[in-house]
Structure 1
Amino acid sequence: MAILSCSANGKNHSFKPGELWPDNNGVHINAHGGGILFEKGKYYWFGEHKTEGEKGNVANVGVHCYSSKDLYNWKDEGIALSVAPEGSGSDIERGCILERPKVIYNEKTKKYVMYFHLEPKGAGYTGALSGIAVSDKVCGPYQYLKAVRPNAGYWAVNYPDELKEKSSKAEGLRFPGDRLPEHPDSMNIVKRDFGKGQMARDMNLFVDEDGTAYHIYSSEENSTLHIAQLTDDYLNYTGKYARFFIGRFMEAPALFKKDGKYYLMMSGCTGWAPNAARSAVADSIFGKWKELGNPCVGEDADLTFHSQSTYILPVQGHPGKFIYLGDRWTPENAIDGRYIWLPVEFEGNRFVIRWKEEWRLE
């Protein structure tokens, strides 16, 4: 298939956003909604494996892994996490929705830990679960452990006391994911989900300099972003979490840190269609976060260059250098999704992303 096969023609020496990106076998890289882990001189790219002709967003294979020493040329390392066969009854049975896998390494346990947004097969987007898997080896295979709603039985550290006693107006209701009839606090969605845990959809992971890990995810029917602290083994939640951008409907979060400040890039909620990106900065991961507007500049900036954020990558050996990783979704044939990688620039206290047809790290 033209979509799958592309000429390798030797090695890549630059980034060409939006073009077919061949791996070492000359096949377009299949790691959508992904993230990067740097380990012992190599980058590892984990992402959703799509299949030819696949429409929408179902997992038929699992999470694909690639490795690279230079970020231009990627070796296919195979499927890191496989979905279970049909009829198995597993949470990650073939046909489930498995999105935005991210992997972090735990120095204490010497384990590689994967999180992903999971929707069990046939349930649409009603599950809003966090799937967790673990491996002794960076490329896997990963063992699926569980799927949970985060922080069941815990209030956010910045949740108003008066709302803890009020009833929820959202009990038993479902919402479209891009709007609510009222402000999320007036509906008290957190109270509705207090016992079973908070909703978690589009997500990312971040490990701070002290080794503390955080899970960042869209919650409360996508209306509000949560940042939650993970336990020392990275396999559970400590119960400490906070809510940000309440009622702003942000998804596709990507968090990074530079010169002691925390930065976030996000998108609005418009389904598969691109929209204007958003950005924010804070002196502490638990806020206060200040919105900075759309970081993209130039033609098609209002559509994030026809892409959606998935990760901001710090480049090893280049202090202060970061790369924006985005997906250009093609829901009518998901395997043809393209990757938009662009350099992140800094202007004062904000970061900026400009389009480049072709570019190099140097």
Structure 2
Amino acid sequence: MRKEFLIIIFLILVKATMAQTQLKSQEIVYTNPLNVQLGDPFILSTDGIYYMYGTGGVADRGFSAYSSKDLVNWKQEGQVYFHDNKNGWSDPNTPWDGAYWAPEVYEVKGKFYLFYSAQWKINPEKEMENFKIGVAVSDKPTGPFVDLAPKPLFDPGYPIIDANVFFDTNGKAYLYYSRAAYKHPIESEIAKQARKSGKFNEIEESWVYGVELKPDFSGVIGEPVLILRPPIKLKDKQAAWESLSVTSGEVNRRWTEGSVTFKKDGIYYIMYSANHFGGEHYAVGYATSSSPLGPFKKAKNNPILHRNTNKGGIVSGTGHNSIVYSPDGKEMFCVYHGRTTATGSERVVFIDRMKVEKGKITIFGPTTQPQKKPAASL
């Protein structure tokens, strides 16, 4: 009887240990993609909580948010920006339901500022792509956000999307954005090749510009400066990966968009996405400079994030990233959207570790296998 009792106790202890080990294992890992269906993800960290914003999701002609304490488990916070706020300047009845895209939120002096793209209702020429950038403000990261003015931040004379703001150590703020490819045909050796092969008659391009922001975000200072554009010549080592949407016959556009700028060890880095956001070739590269407005030099190891379906993986369309740090501030993560063979055309969010060292960026992704949770997660 005593022997049977000891065996029972032993089995109970083994089972308890296995359960504890399994629980502990579940606590220290996460797996991409996250349970968040957004495009163009951006994460704000404030007061020990992370807030994620992006294109799409549960928002109706506006933007929604998610919150998390560990960058892994996310809770819906509902819609935080509505186009019909008292200063709303956009038109929700235009193509793409108003094109409410790529929101990014920054905390400045206790206020939260939302930069975003949308279709401007002032459109005398009835252009299909009349994108402009707006700025809205709130006392809370969960809104409601109200536009600073009943008009876009500024009008450069062409459609613009994908606002990103960089705050330099000298107190100046810079806006980076993408000039949309709409009605922007550019002659290049890639365009000549596409025409010769019978794929496309012309190739439209989007370019990234930078400009200094007024301290109160009421406008810009000076003229925008061209920061990045697709390669002109075929011999350019960046041409092959940045032109895949064209050379594969997917679409007659080359994109440079979804940029994010940061500074580390005196070097300015700008990450950007190329190719069609809705295609498999969407990928991320970067460039470096000694000045926030360049000139920037593209990196030799581009692209640093791209599909793995050509190597037996399940992820494609990786792009429009932002960056975020772990709760302890020691680990750097690349936040981006992608697609998997399971999610199909739906964009979902990934976070993968990245390293920035001596002018070089390395992203350890895309991953779909279990990863350690960000350091010091709660």
State if a TM-score over 0.5 links the two structures: yes
Structure-1 separation of matches of 2:277 and 2:84: 27
Kindly, what percent of the aligned residue pairs are identical? 23
CA gap 1:335/1:220 in 2 versus in 1, 3 angstroms: closer
1:247 Cα offset (Å): 4.7
User: Greater helix share, 1 or 2?
Assistant: 2
Matches within 5 A, 1:255-270: 255-270=261-276
Q: Select which of 312, 317, 320 maps to 1:306.
A: 317
- For 1:140, give the aligned amino acid: G
1:61 Cα offset (Å): 4.3
CA gap 1:247/1:328 in 2 versus in 1, 3 angstroms: closer
What residue number does 1:106 align with?
108
Structure-2 separation of matches of 1:283 and 1:119: 34
Residues 1:204 and 2:164 aligned together:
yes
1:208 Cα offset (Å): 2.5
What residue number does 2:137 align with?
134
Q: Select which of 354, 358, 362 maps to 2:370.
A: 358
Q: Select which of 73, 78, 97 maps to 2:99.
A: 97
Stretch of structure 1 that moved more, 258-267 or 308-317: 308-317
Structure-2 separation of matches of 1:211 and 1:315: 25
Stretch of structure 1 that moved more, 138-147 or 310-319: 310-319
1:73 Cα offset (Å): 2.0
- After superposition, the C-alpha distances for 1:241-269 in whole angstroms (9 at most, x for unaligned) are 32122454411212222222121221213
Q: Is the 8 A contact 1:129 1:147 kept in 2?
A: no
CA gap 1:240/1:334 in 2 versus in 1, 3 angstroms: farther
Q: Is the 8 A contact 1:215 1:228 kept in 2?
A: yes
CA gap 1:151/1:237 in 2 versus in 1, 3 angstroms: farther
Mark the runs of 5 or more structure 1 residues left unpaired by the alignment.
Answer: 1-8, 22-28, 52-58, 153-192
Q: Is the 8 A contact 1:213 1:234 kept in 2?
A: no
Residues 1:317 and 2:323 aligned together:
no
Residues 1:233 and 2:223 aligned together:
no
Matches within 5 A, 1:14-93: 14-18=29-33, 21=35, 29-50=36-57, 60-84=60-84, 91-93=90-92
1:43 Cα offset (Å): 1.4
1:334 Cα offset (Å): 9.4
Structure-2 separation of matches of 1:146 and 1:316: 37
- After superposition, the C-alpha distances for 1:114-137 in whole angstroms (9 at most, x for unaligned) are 111112589675212002211122
- After superposition, the C-alpha distances for 1:255-289 in whole angstroms (9 at most, x for unaligned) are 22222212122121324113242211112111121
Q: Select which of 172, 175, 197 maps to 1:215.
A: 175
Structure-2 separation of matches of 1:89 and 1:106: 22
Q: Is the 8 A contact 1:219 1:226 kept in 2?
A: yes
CA gap 1:209/1:305 in 2 versus in 1, 3 angstroms: farther
- After superposition, the C-alpha distances for 1:214-254 in whole angstroms (9 at most, x for unaligned) are 22111163432101211111232123532122454411212
Structure-1 separation of matches of 2:325 and 2:41: 15
- For 2:318, give the aligned amino acid: S
What residue number does 1:224 align with?
207
What residue number does 2:304 align with?
295
Structure-2 separation of matches of 1:267 and 1:305: 13
Structure-1 separation of matches of 2:61 and 2:307: 38
Of structures 1 and 2, the larger Rg is shown by: 2
Please state whether the residue corresponding to 2:29 is helix, strand or coil.
coil
CA gap 1:259/1:311 in 2 versus in 1, 3 angstroms: same
CA gap 1:149/1:89 in 2 versus in 1, 3 angstroms: closer
Structure-2 separation of matches of 1:297 and 1:47: 20
CA gap 1:329/1:149 in 2 versus in 1, 3 angstroms: farther
- After superposition, the C-alpha distances for 1:153-209 in whole angstroms (9 at most, x for unaligned) are xxxxxxxxxxxxxxxxxxxxxxxxxxxxxxxxxxxxxxxx3xxxx531233222233
Structure-2 separation of matches of 1:77 and 1:89: 21
Matches within 5 A, 1:116-265: 116-120=116-120, 125-144=128-147, 145-148=149-152, 150=154, 152=156, 193=157, 198-219=158-179, 221=181, 222-248=205-231, 249-265=255-271
4+ runs deviating over 6 angstroms: 9-12, 121-124, 301-304
Q: Is the 8 A contact 2:277 2:317 kept in 1?
A: no
1:70 Cα offset (Å): 1.6
- For 2:154, give the aligned amino acid: P
Structure-1 separation of matches of 2:310 and 2:290: 27
Q: Select which of 253, 273, 284 maps to 2:291.
A: 284
CA gap 1:126/1:297 in 2 versus in 1, 3 angstroms: closer
Q: Is the 8 A contact 1:312 1:324 kept in 2?
A: yes
Q: Aligned residue pairs: how many?
A: 288
Please state whether the residue corresponding to 1:323 is helix, strand or coil.
strand
1:297 Cα offset (Å): 7.8
Q: Is the 8 A contact 1:255 1:312 kept in 2?
A: no
